[in-house]
Chain A
Amino acid sequence: MRKVIPILVAVLTGLTVLADFFITHPILDLVGRTLLQWAMIVAAFAFVAGLLNIFFTHTSRVFHREKGWGYSIVVILAMWTVLVFGFVGDGPHGYVVSWIFRYVQYPLQATVMALLAFFALSAGYRAFRRRTLESTIMLLSASLVLLGYAAIMTDLWPVSALKEWVLSVPAMAGVRGILLGVALGITATGLRILIGMDKPYSD
């Protein structure tokens, strides 16, 4: 019974939400919407577990003086600061929390993401050093498209036309093939859970 009830709940919930997607009916709409709201509430509780994980993991790193423990102190302090100011005063949309996000988090995030261009370059260089047929094709097509986007080349017929062809024929065909495969993979994963074959929600 311990195994059957969770499977029944999961299958019935999944089928109801799926039916709500396809069929327009006031009762089904209400049930589907309510189930989705419940799922959102349950997911919100997972954040409490996440918060506890951050606190205990980093506290343990500090106590055991593990490599990089100083950063753990910063993480714990930042966590408590945002949490405390999120609960008191103007809440999560108040001045202090907004200031922290606007002047600390967003600039740091932008800085990290700005490194991507350099990482892409070094990753590309490594790929081309492999000297396989695939990496050669990648090198040629990437160079062609880059050249095609250069201002000086936009009016140069063969480069510009070749760039357009690469983007709209082989690249597009590849992307559509991949997307089709991914869509089938997603559907198979969903159906396996819906008909109770797979039980990722444990025993």
Chain B
Amino acid sequence: MNELSIAFLLFFALFLYIAFVEVRIRGKPNLRPMPALDFLKEAFQKAIESGRPLHVSSGTGTVGEKDTAETLAGLGLLEYAQRQGGLYGIPVTSTFFHPTAMLSGYDFKRKFGPAGGRIYFIAPEKGIYAAGAAEVLKNERPILNLALGPFGYEFLLLSEAAESQGIDQVAGATDPSVLPFVYSSTEHSLIGEEVFAAKAYLAKEPQALAGVIAQDVMRFILIIGITVGVILKTLGVI
């Protein structure tokens, strides 16, 4: 089983590298439309016009534990928001569940210039984080609540607080038990793997785009593997 896992990882890394080279030579590939991310661009324009801040939450996860990848996806979007904020003078307020993620928030602010907006570390307890972030939404009245990353049921507290203040929302999560809440409480949602593709769509960095292409290639290989396995099992070969 170990050999199979290692082979899978090596293949994945190989496709990732090939896709990276391909993107660098041929440029951005055609990506299917994602309405939530198109709306995000509109929201940035509204923020420039109104002068109101954006609120970004990178989820209730930790850098260094099992939900690191989802947290990094959320931080990727925060990086993009801070970069846009630095360029167009949009204040970006961010709230954090864990201090390991908060340090990245400070780093982005340092790199892309302070356009206003605060960094709040709330608490490493999910319910308390959501209650604290809801209070930040109430006090700062941002124009957009951008919540992307690992979330549990506390997501509802945050999104309903934004909804009650009439704040537009773009949200995404990966946990299937939370996705119905994401879909029902926000008009612009990112479901499952779309969370990881967000940075590729927005920032258009070759490494992020290569990740999306490599994921698709590996998905096709897995689908073929599952289909062949089902047929062989049905025929009694395995």
Residue numbers of A with Cβ under 8 A of B are: 22, 39-40, 43, 46-47, 49-50, 53-54, 57, 66-68, 71, 105, 108-109, 112-113, 115-116, 119-120, 122-124, 126-127, 130, 134-135, 138, 142, 174-175, 178-182, 184-195, 197-198, 200, 202-203
Contacts and interface: CB of A to CB of B under 8 A. Distances in A.
Given A68-B139, A185-B215, A54 B9 contact: no
A122 to B, nearest CB: 7
B17 A178 contact: no
A53 B120 contact: yes
B167 interface: no
Nearest to A112: B127
Contacts of B63: 43
Interface secondary structure of A, over-half rule: helix
Given A123-B181, A179-B176, A113 B153 contact: yes
B144 interface: no
Nearest to A128: B184
A57 B120 contact: yes
A53 B119 CA distance: 8
Given A43-B64, A191-B9, A200 B131 contact: no
Contacts of B64: 39-40, 43
Contacts, number: 171
A66 to B, nearest CB: 7
Contacts of B62: 43
22 contacts: A43-B63, A46-B100, A47-B99, A49-B103, A57-B121, A105-B125, A109-B127, A109-B128, A119-B185, A122-B160, A123-B185, A181-B192, A181-B219, A182-B196, A184-B218, A189-B73, A191-B13, A191-B214, A192-B211, A193-B72, A198-B208, A200-B76
Contact of A113 (B102, B127, B135, B180): B127
B156 interface: yes
A203 to B, nearest CB: 8
A202 B157 contact: no
Sorted nearest first, the 6 A-B pairs with minimum C-beta distance are: A50-B99, A185-B196, A181-B193, A127-B184, A123-B185, A46-B99
Interface string B1-15: 010011001001100
Interface in B177-227: 179-181, 183-185, 187, 191-193, 195-197, 207-208, 210-212, 214-215, 218-219, 222
